[in-house]
Structure 1
Amino acid sequence: MKGKLYKIMIPLFLLVFLVGCGSTQDTEKTDNKVDKRVSVVVSFNAMAELTKAIGGDKIELTTIVPSGVEAHDFEPKPREIASLSKASLFIYNGLGMEPWAKDMLKSIDNKNLQIIEAFKEADLIKNSGDEIGEHGEFDPHVWLSLKEAKVQANNIKEGLIKVDSNNKDYYESNYKEFSKKIDDLKAEYEKKITSLERKDLVTGHAAFAYLCRDFGLQQHSVEDVFAEGEPTSQKIKELIDLSKKIKIKTVFMEENASPKVSETIAKEVGAKVDTINTLESEGDYINTMKENLEKIYNSLT
């Protein structure tokens, strides 16, 4: 009897073992399928921050322009171009911010790649003078408006849903959460800034027109929208005279910019120099915009 039981037990043990192994393999396959993330390539940091807010842990993100490099001065190398060959989605700002993007897209062979120009449907600010001929009709710094950043984030959300419809609810939920954070931040500083008498902002680079529009501020800058060329002595003198007249306390310069001109103006008018972040190279979106707004508010009190 014991011998018979022994003979029966061995096949049963093997059967359980084999079924167990099969279940483990099936689970691994299922887990791998669930954990597979969408390959997304973005142009520069501001687009990366908006995309991370919506895509969360469902995406594998690659940023083309490295930290410390201006997006409109960048020239992609084969390595950056190759990152698009297997991507599902490419997101860029547009409006001349990345003049290399369209030529780069023409050079890749990826028929499944979806492309999002994040500026679409935003309320754009027109350029003026020589910049229209050189760079286009509109100011590209759309993401520096809290209001327009929501538009860009929505475009990104729709792009993610298009390439990954299974996670639509996840992307929708992240967008709602991100939008609420933006709305709360905007409401906080609208209340603070509206009460101020002074509304003039002096910057080295005219990148903050959208932010100023959000809060009823007036931007005065040494350099144009794309910060190209050297400012003339006449332009600097005019800004110094204006800064004295309106009693500017702070001259703002952008991260990675040369402080020379900003320091010259600040010295002449008895102001300090402080850094304001365009998010082109670094910075979390919500926290960085809050820091920018707090600095601006303090400069106007």
Structure 2
Amino acid sequence: MNVRRLIPATALAGTVALGAAALTACSGPADAAGGKDGKLDVTASFYPMQFLAEQIGKDHVKVDTLTKPGVEPHDLEITPKQTAQLGEADVVLYLKNLQPAVDKAVAQSGVKNIVDAATLTKLEVHSAAGHEGHDHAAEGEDHSHDHDHGHDHGGSGEDPHVWLDPTKYAEIAKGVGAALEKADPDHAADYKKNTEDLLTKLTALDTEFKDGLKNTASKTFITTHSAFGYLAERYGLDQEGISGVDPESEPSPARMKELQAVAKKDNVSTVFFETLASDKTAKTLARDTGLKTDVLDPLEGMTDKSQGADYFEVMRSNLKNLQKALGTK
């Protein structure tokens, strides 16, 4: 039922992946806690990985992130200084195929404790249009799904936006917790407890979404950034993405016409845009379809414009905005 824009993945030979069951990428305790302050130096690729490290590591870790607040993570370029710092980390947390520059830097870093979140849960492939029966080829549309927003990740088509599904994010959290335990065994008990606490919170968030989206007037939402496929699939919704265009550019006339029909048929009230990109596309579509606009945050980074201070607050804001747009009964 749900949908997502195809997001190709680029295979990078030489990258060390950490499996969920066998944490073979982790080196032994001798490499752990190498910081001068005795803390485990963790480098996270972008906010969702940073948040996990902070929540699970707490006082035992020092967390740096490669993607600074306000930077669109897909377009990140790694500086030589960041590459050097990456090589000094005790643990690196990243999500392969989301940020090509990070993939390359990680592969060259020589760090032994590397956690690839993409190996800790199952990635899926989806299209940008959420309704079966849309024959885009027959309509003469080009839905090759080359995401102009920096999502050109190669050929596998797997969607990396797993953190927007609390259940999948919990699976990643388990793997991160296990990696920190192995990298810093002296504090393993604390990492285990913190992981369990985080899993409890994510389970509660999942319940809130299930209950909050159970009875709605519509199940379809339109978004400029097709990042919400996992969320849509988990909670029985249809995501309609404006495909083949950058969030800041105009949608194609053919796609506009199709979305106008979808909006009318499925009682859509709102076009969503995100915090790290312009709302130009959303406003254009909304103006031409008589719809409202609102924010649906893909949580790829935090800024002073974010509708909350952390992952949980922003996800709950997303839930409220979806409830309002879908007409919660």
Q: Using the TM superposition, give the Cα deviation of residue 244 of structure 1 relative to its aligned residue in structure 2, in angstroms.
A: 2.4
Question: Which aligned pairs between 1:18-29 and structure 2 lie closer than 5 A?
Answer: none
Encode CA deviations 1:130-163: one digit per residue, 9 max, x unaligned: 3588533300101111110001111111111121
Against the structure 1 CA distance between its residues 227 and 138, is the aligned structure 2 distance closer, same or farther, given a 3 Å change threshold? farther
Contact 2:248/2:279, CA 8 A, preserved across alignment = no
Q: Using the TM superposition, give the Cα deviation of residue 118 of structure 1 relative to its aligned residue in structure 2, in angstroms.
A: 0.7
TM-score, length of structure 1 as denominator length: 0.81
Q: Which residue of 1 aligns with 2:228?
A: 208
Against the structure 1 CA distance between its residues 109 and 190, is the aligned structure 2 distance closer, same or farther, given a 3 Å change threshold? closer
Question: Which aligned pairs between 1:28-39 and structure 2 lie closer than 5 A?
Answer: 36-39=38-41
Q: Which amino acid aligns with 2:106?
A: L
| Separation in structure 2 between the aligned mates of residue 181 and residue 76 of structure 1, nearest angstrom | 33
1:218 equivalenced with 2:217 (yes/no): no
Question: Which aligned pairs between 1:1-301 and structure 2 lie closer than 5 A?
Answer: 36-94=38-96, 96-110=97-111, 113-128=112-127, 130-131=144-145, 135=154, 136-223=156-243, 231-282=251-302, 284-301=310-327
Against the structure 1 CA distance between its residues 127 and 299, is the aligned structure 2 distance closer, same or farther, given a 3 Å change threshold? closer
The DSSP-based 3-state class of the residue aligned with 2:224 is strand
Where structure 2 has 5 or more consecutive residues not aligned to the other structure, the ranges are 1-34, 128-142, 147-151, 303-308
Against the structure 1 CA distance between its residues 137 and 228, is the aligned structure 2 distance closer, same or farther, given a 3 Å change threshold? farther
Q: Using the TM superposition, give the Cα deviation of residue 267 of structure 1 relative to its aligned residue in structure 2, in angstroms.
A: 1.8
Against the structure 1 CA distance between its residues 156 and 107, is the aligned structure 2 distance closer, same or farther, given a 3 Å change threshold? same
The DSSP-based 3-state class of the residue aligned with 1:196 is coil
Q: Which amino acid aligns with 1:216?
A: G
Report the structure, 1 or 2, having the larger helix content.
Answer: 1
Percent of aligned positions that are identical: 30
| Separation in structure 2 between the aligned mates of residue 106 and residue 211 of structure 1, nearest angstrom | 30
Against the structure 1 CA distance between its residues 105 and 55, is the aligned structure 2 distance closer, same or farther, given a 3 Å change threshold? same
The DSSP-based 3-state class of the residue aligned with 1:61 is strand
Encode CA deviations 1:230-278: one digit per residue, 9 max, x unaligned: 6422112211221122222221101121211111221233222111111
Q: Which amino acid aligns with 1:93?
A: L
The DSSP-based 3-state class of the residue aligned with 1:83 is helix
Contact 1:250/1:274, CA 8 A, preserved across alignment = yes
Q: Using the TM superposition, give the Cα deviation of residue 225 of structure 1 relative to its aligned residue in structure 2, in angstroms.
A: 10
Q: Using the TM superposition, give the Cα deviation of residue 280 of structure 1 relative to its aligned residue in structure 2, in angstroms.
A: 0.9
Contact 1:207/1:225, CA 8 A, preserved across alignment = no
Q: Which amino acid aligns with 1:141?
A: H
Q: Using the TM superposition, give the Cα deviation of residue 226 of structure 1 relative to its aligned residue in structure 2, in angstroms.
A: 8.5
The DSSP-based 3-state class of the residue aligned with 2:86 is coil
Q: Which amino acid aligns with 2:83?
A: I
Q: Which residue of 1 aligns with 2:138?
A: none
Contact 1:142/1:148, CA 8 A, preserved across alignment = yes
Contact 1:92/1:116, CA 8 A, preserved across alignment = yes
| Separation in structure 1 between the aligned mates of residue 182 and residue 79 of structure 2, nearest angstrom | 28
Q: Using the TM superposition, give the Cα deviation of residue 196 of structure 1 relative to its aligned residue in structure 2, in angstroms.
A: 2.1
| Separation in structure 1 between the aligned mates of residue 245 and residue 51 of structure 2, nearest angstrom | 22
Q: Which has the larger radius of gyration?
A: 1
RMSD of the alignment, in Å? 2.4
The DSSP-based 3-state class of the residue aligned with 2:299 is coil
Contact 2:212/2:319, CA 8 A, preserved across alignment = no
Contact 1:205/1:224, CA 8 A, preserved across alignment = no
| Separation in structure 2 between the aligned mates of residue 47 and residue 66 of structure 1, nearest angstrom | 13
Q: Which amino acid aligns with 1:99?
A: P
Encode CA deviations 1:71-107: one digit per residue, 9 max, x unaligned: 221110012112112210000012x201122321343
Q: Which amino acid aligns with 1:300?
A: L
The DSSP-based 3-state class of the residue aligned with 1:278 is coil
Q: Which amino acid aligns with 1:41?
A: T
Q: Which amino acid aligns with 2:144?
A: D
Q: Using the TM superposition, give the Cα deviation of residue 200 of structure 1 relative to its aligned residue in structure 2, in angstroms.
A: 0.7
The DSSP-based 3-state class of the residue aligned with 2:271 is strand
| Separation in structure 2 between the aligned mates of residue 241 and residue 167 of structure 1, nearest angstrom | 56
| Separation in structure 2 between the aligned mates of residue 238 and residue 265 of structure 1, nearest angstrom | 11
Relative contact order higher in (CA < 8 Å, ≥ 6 apart): 2
